[in-house]
Amino acid sequence: MRLMKWLAGLLCAALLTLAPQAGATDTTPLSLADKAVTLTPSPTFQYVGPAEVPSFLNRHWRGRPLAGGGGLGLLVPTEGDPTWLVALSYDGGGHVSDLDRGRLDPDRLLAALRSGDAGGAQPLAGWAQRPVYDGATHILVWATRRQADGGAVDGLDYHARLLGRRGVLGLDIAARMSDLPAIEGRMPTLLSMLRFTPGNGYRDYVPLADQSITLGLGGLIAGDTLVKGGLMDHLLTGITSQSFIYLMAVLVVMLTTRRLRRRWGPKPPPAPPPAKAPDPPPRGHDGPKGPWS
């Protein structure tokens, strides 16, 4: 009887050691980009960490193109054999303003992209989705079509950028045009999984205190090609950047306040008139006395 109790206790201990240890659940948020971004996992996507990206690509992706660097990892659809995946990246070089949101010219942007892509193995064919910017969420989305394998394959490059306080979060997808409906259908879920942490959102930007770059939304799409092709536009973006505007506003307020104080401020009391020097005393006659002295 004692032997049976001993064996039962040993069996229970073995089962407890084999049971999964308590840890992070599937919905536990993950901190990315030095805690500037939060990723909330979803059952529809598998997250692959940066350290596991090379082995995952070697095992499952088999040399297929990968858009973006995937510096923050990958998000892979969990349904069936995925034909596309999402590469996550973060550029913390500085705040990017959206003041040029009303000047996004799709034709000019496409020409800049083609100029920078001249001679590539997969020539750019055109827009799959023209640039669209949501000013409420500060999310920029665009997609281009590419001709691969001598024109036999219609490739797709899908991009999304989330603007933050000190940088930009990037989602890049390399797929085929036939995958575009599925990607567009999954984008709301993807965007809902990613959030800037409190204090790191776009509206948390502090002018003059936080670093900013004069890139603009057009620069996020076309990169340095747009800057080289239009120096005046780049300078205009810099002049209209938030830091420059706030700096000029501070200078104007300082100069205006100084002038108003001079004109409308309290006047200093008038200076007293200079004191009159006393008359010198009469000088006596020290010469020889005359007959009338």
Closest among 180, 190, 144, 254 to 42, alpha carbons compared: 190
The CB-based long-range contact list for 247-251 (8 Å cut-off, 24+ gap) reads: 247/207, 247/208
Q: What angle do CA 38, 222, 149 make, to 5 degrees?
A: 95
Question: Dihedrals φ, ψ of 74, to 5°?
Answer: -125, 155
Q: Where are the domains of the chain?
A: 27-248
Q: Is 214 within 8 Å of 231 (Cβ atoms)?
A: no
Q: What is the pLDDT along the chain (293 residues), one digit of tens a residue?
A: 454 555 455 444 443 333 333 333 467 899 999 999 999 999 999 999 999 998 888 888 876 767 776 789 999 999 878 889 999 999 999 999 999 999 999 999 999 998 887 766 678 889 999 999 999 999 999 999 988 666 666 899 999 999 999 999 999 999 999 999 999 999 999 999 999 999 999 999 999 899 998 889 999 998 855 544 443 344 444 444 454 455 555 555 565 666 656 666 666 666 676 666 666 666 555 555 555 54
Query: Are the C-beta atoms of residues 141 and 172 closer than 8 Å to each other?
Result: no
In sign, the C-alpha dihedral spanning 251, 254, 256, 259 is negative
What residue type is assigned to position 219 of the chain? G
In whole angstroms, give the CA distance from residue 130 to residue 141. Answer: 8
Query: Nearest-5° angle of CA 226, CA 64, CA 31?
Result: 70
> How far is CA 58 from each of CA 61, 64, 174, 178, rounded to the nearest angstrom?
6, 10, 16, 24
Tokens of 200: 């790191």
The topology under which CATH files domain 27-248 is: Protein Transport Mog1p; Chain A (3.40.1000)
Contact 221, 109 (CB under 8 A): yes
Q: Which two tokens stand for residue 60?
A: 């499952």
Q: Which two tokens stand for residue 173?
A: 């997808």
